[in-house]
Amino acid sequence: MRNPTGKTAIVTGAAGGIGGEVAKLFDRQGIKLVLTDINAAGLTQTARGLTREPLCVPCDISKPEDVRALVAAALKHYGGVDILVNNAGIIMPALFEHCTYEDIERQVAINFLGAVTCTREVIPAMRKSGAGHIVTVSSMAGLVPETYSAIYTATKFALRGFNLTLAIELKKHRIGVSTIFPDSVATPMLRYEALHGGSPLTFLSPPQSPALVAEAIYKAILKDKVEVSIPASTGMVSKAIMCWPWAVTKIWPLLEYLGNRKKPALAEQLRQSLPE
């Protein structure tokens, strides 16, 4: 998709930090927007920052009937769907032994099954138009384990396998599939992690801006990138170390120690600078 101007994009999690920045960037590039989130008030706030009025559709992506209604609304309003950005996600930090079944099911339902459902529902529209692109925002936790977030990590690992498979299967339909692996990003979700027992590994490096992730998503569409890590160096190291899984159990305690040393200062910074 060399020139997405005039195309139609669905962006999930559009009330959040990354989703809001994706909406702004796509708006500047002349992409028609369908914004969705469970947070209707947040959608309205995102829409206010755009030059053109988007179609805002409140939706719980863990409910297939909501997703079907979302895609139907997009088709009715714009006549097609060319781009899907699977951005919605949640995290409930805790040691796995302390996780409730409700927390486990909610993270799997939104982070993995929600993205799967959105993807499944847009494929017929993309096939009909003869092309499309699906981008999913994973996490560096989709490449390496993130302690205190075992279920979150599992969903992000699952997304990688799912999308790599689709990149092969959907190529014949001229539908590109990309997965984005950001390190920690300065969003309200990171603030929540910092104040509610998030993994020390999340705080090893200063968080990146959501705008940087939005730019990576846009470039992945333009260049048909299968995987993009942000920063690229962290992604390369993460993929390399996973060639020796035994080393992970040896190195991670040291990384946790370093992350815990940095976490209090960063948590205070996030508490003051970001909304709840």
* Tokens found for residue 198: 């998030």
Residue tagged active-site, from 78, 101, 148, 152 = 152
**Would residue 152 show up in a list of annotated catalytic residues for this protein?**
yes
User: How far out from the chain centre does Cα 62 lie?
Assistant: 15
Q: Please tell me the distance from the alpha carbon of residue 252 to that of residue 135, in angstroms, as a whole number.
A: 30
- What are the residue numbers of the active site? 152
